[in-house]
Amino acid sequence: MRAWEKIGEDANIVLVGNFNPSIFHPEWFIKRGIVPDWNYSGHRSGTNEAAVAVLPDLAQIDFQDQKFLQVMLNKFTLRCSHASEFLSLKDIVSTAFSILKETPISQMGMNYQAVIRIADNDLWLKFGEVMAPKEPWLVAAPYINELDDGNKKRLGLWNLTMQMPRPDDLSGYIRPTVKVENSNARTLSISVNNHVEIADKSTATVIDYLERYWEQSLNLANEIVRNTLIDQLGEEG
């Protein structure tokens, strides 16, 4: 039996700066050859929301291959939940901002998230207790010791973020987060925020960093996720 399994994943590139959301219409991407033409009318998968919404202060586009774009006045986010398309996010962002080269960008996130299901309750509890030991919290909140056993069991890991130094010479940090998604279903997410400061605020620097580090960032995030799980629970199976 598998101790754990990956049941979903997501990668995204986030840029913080000054943007004009009204630019980002599907036709803008199609006419410049950034994405192939597709029928972008209709609704987002599984929702009643329009697949495309372009307003002065917000743009949202459902691309093909499970890619989704959201642009606000201060943030650009392109995400994908299809692993075989993760690398292509870099190409879309790099090409778009090689055209919009005057856009000031101060920060970038190269991020990844995996959703994990743990096989049984014993392993679920073991993982939580190792990642977030209860003893310091029993000292911090001694009233918990006076509760009945049922309530005592409610103490445990819910959302834990660590900060790590970067493995390169870029300015920024690596922040992995473990978060419970559904305790009854024993599912949690492990996300890795690979944050980079863009000192000169130039799109040229953003494109250079994406070309050099996007694939490395995905590999690092996968390594952190797998090592975290294998160390506490063993191989996926």
Burial of residue 190, with CB atoms counted within 10 A of its CB: 0-12 exposed, 13-18 middle, 19 or more buried: buried
pLDDT mean values, one per 10 residues, the chain (237 residues): 93 98 96 92 64 94 95 98 97 98 98 97 94 96 95 95 97 98 97 98 98 98 96 78
Would you list the domain boundaries of the chain? 4-16+103-233
Cβ-count burial 113-127 (b if 16+ within 10 Å, e if not) = bbbbbbeeeebbeeb
Residue 44's pLDDT is what?
A: 58
Residue 42's pLDDT is what?
A: 63
Residue 237's pLDDT is what?
A: 47
* pTM to 2 decimal places: 0.92
Residue 144's pLDDT is what?
A: 96
